[in-house]
Structure 1
């Protein structure tokens, strides 16, 4: 939604709230009732804007026979599950040896001291990049997916696609390892961008990965061959940049269709990616495969009572839908494939190849 449209919506909603019947200052003192009334209006407004959209509220019924990995396996086998969405973070690439490029503690930054950065993440800020792109491309040489191999977790996602069960794969990673593993483009949403393509910042000419890689490996700053002046920036999302339009377009329609959501290797703290966990319907099971439990959702929406994130300890377990399997992603994926009867060897062979 554009800023002008949001402003118009806010003005309209404000008029609507102002014109609602309610206690006036002459009827009774302002207090808890007015506060609840205003909170309800704010909640309704945010929901209508779909800024904090949530899955449809459906009548309560038992979804999983047990809140375990076995319960998820039974659900997949018996429910006719055909539209699984996977959401992943850096944790699925850990075993590939790819470092966390956004972490200042990463060894990647040690070679950048000579550039006297105002702070480590400055190289991922667009304005700094425009002024001095060299530090980014020094770091990019260590980040290029060339030489890294997909993990067992990547091949598990591909296996879901091969089985006809994958609706879409959403990744926070920029390493393109899903592509290397053979996942087709139409099943992939790279929420934080990718090294797969790049654009000239001046004329917007498109360049492919091979061209970008060759320039980076040579140690030269990629300059546009068409307008000559512009620097070619890989299509990864820098701090402060908008996420790709594909992310917004597909997430708006995908999550309402999902019959199972699998989240792997993500701390779910970066928005708006983290908030996607609440976009599925309330009868859609959610499986977290991670080194630790995470809350999901976002603080603001939870504050307004619009969304809750994960609930691994529901008041009534009979109606629970969230399952956490704690451990490394590769082991979790291998175990899930084995329990599905797909064969650990099938996954392992792909992984080795």
Structure 2
């Protein structure tokens, strides 16, 4: 019987070598894999997560105000601080790691049907994933959008204005408030992206959740959706998640080390094996 049909929770959460080989075997068997990634996949690229022990909001709770739309709209000082933070965002100097590249390999094996990501750093694009398969549910830091008109541009264009002394640069078309094209707390998600995510969850035979606590809705709902549709669920995360009880396997290992092992196409990869040399 497919473990996804038993409803008995994860077979194991120890992340042993046998667990890794088991998951690699499931991926070999799968024909339609949907992947959901969170901040944890990018930490090995030097981008801190938000809620982990060393997360941005854990260390500086005030920084979360900059990600709340109501505060951003109401307080010019919040916007000034947000633009300074964007100038210094680690995404500008980051490069994809082996975890990102492993998902490209999964795509090349014609198994990955959709790559849903909560991340705004654009590293899946840099790694070479097909843009048509990527759903950036929470938007992207690489573009800027006006909150009052349809103006949208490359983030670099506006950051150049900040460097030249504009602390809170207005929209060049309507004078409105500009913000990174990310989804802030209190801001409506893109309906088309949510629909794509739901369809991907309903039609996969394996759901791979990587580097996410699965605490942010509505995107976290893709995991129980996939489970209910009969898919196996595999969670790869350093910390416990809110949906470990739904998983057929939970792997507590370094994401950039274990993803190449399970996505590469062989069931017997030894510990420490890397597809990248």
Same fold, judged at TM 0.5 (above): yes
Given the alignment of the two structures, is residue 348 of structure 1 paired with residue 276 of structure 2, yes or no? yes
Contact 1:263–1:289 (CA<8 Å) still a contact in 2? yes
Distance 1:254 1:186, change over 3 A: same
Establish whether residue 98 from structure 1 lines up as the match of residue 47 from structure 2: yes
Alignment of 1:42-53 (within 5 A): none
Distance 1:105 1:73, change over 3 A: closer
The correspondence for 1:86, drawn from 16, 35, 39, is 35
The one of the two structures with greater contact order (alpha-carbon pairs below 8 A, sep at least 6) is 2
Question: What is the CA–CA distance in structure 1 between the aligned matches of 2:92 and 2:145, rounded to whole Å?
Answer: 20
Is 2:21 the partner of 1:70?
yes
Stretch of structure 1 that moved more, 161-170 or 286-295: 286-295
> Within 5 Å, which residues of 2 pair with 1:85-234?
85-101=34-50, 103-106=56-59, 119-130=62-73, 131-132=75-76, 133-143=79-89, 145-218=91-164, 220=166, 221-227=168-174, 229-234=175-180
Gapped runs of 5+ residues in structure 2? 13-18
Give the paired residue count.
255
Match of 1:326 among 230, 252, 271: 252
Q: Distance in 1 between matches of 2:45 and 2:134?
A: 19
C-alpha distance in 1 between matches for 2:4 and 2:184: 41
Q: Is the 8 A contact 1:92 1:264 kept in 2?
A: yes
Residue of structure 1 equivalent to 2:213? 267
Question: Are residues 216 and 160 of structure 1, via their aligned partners in 2, closer, same or farther at CA, if it must alter by over 3 Å?
Answer: farther
- The Cα of 1:189 is off from its aligned counterpart by 1.1
**CA distance 1:255–1:71, shift in 2 (3 Å):** same
Q: CA deviation at 1:213?
A: 4.1
Aligned pairs for 1:251-266 within 5 A: 251-266=197-212
- In 1, Cα distance between the equivalents of 2:204 and 2:67? 33
Provide the alpha-carbon RMSD of the alignment.
2.9
Report the equivalent of 1:8: none
CA shift, 1:128, in A, is: 2.4
- Cα–Cα, structure 1 residues 125 and 330, in superposed 2: closer, same or farther, change >3 Å? same
**Matches of 1:151 and 1:82, distance apart in 2:** 25
Is the alpha carbon distance of 1:258 and 1:226 closer, same or farther for their aligned partners in structure 2, counting shifts above 3 Å?
same
State the 1:87 CA deviation.
0.8
The TM-score normalised by the length of structure 2 is 0.80
How big is the shift at 1:139? Answer: 1.2
Local SS of the residue matching 1:76: helix
Is contact 1:189–1:246 with CA below 8 Å preserved after alignment?
A: no
Deviates more, 1:91-100 or 1:125-134: 125-134
CA contact (8 A) 1:143 1:175 kept: no
Could you tell me whether the CA contact under 8 Å between 2:45 and 2:95 is conserved in 1? yes
Q: Residues 213-236 of structure 1, C-alpha deviation per residue, up to 9 Å, x if partnerless?
A: 434555633332222x12321111
- Write the distance in 2 (CA, Å) between the matches of 1:200 and 1:60: 46
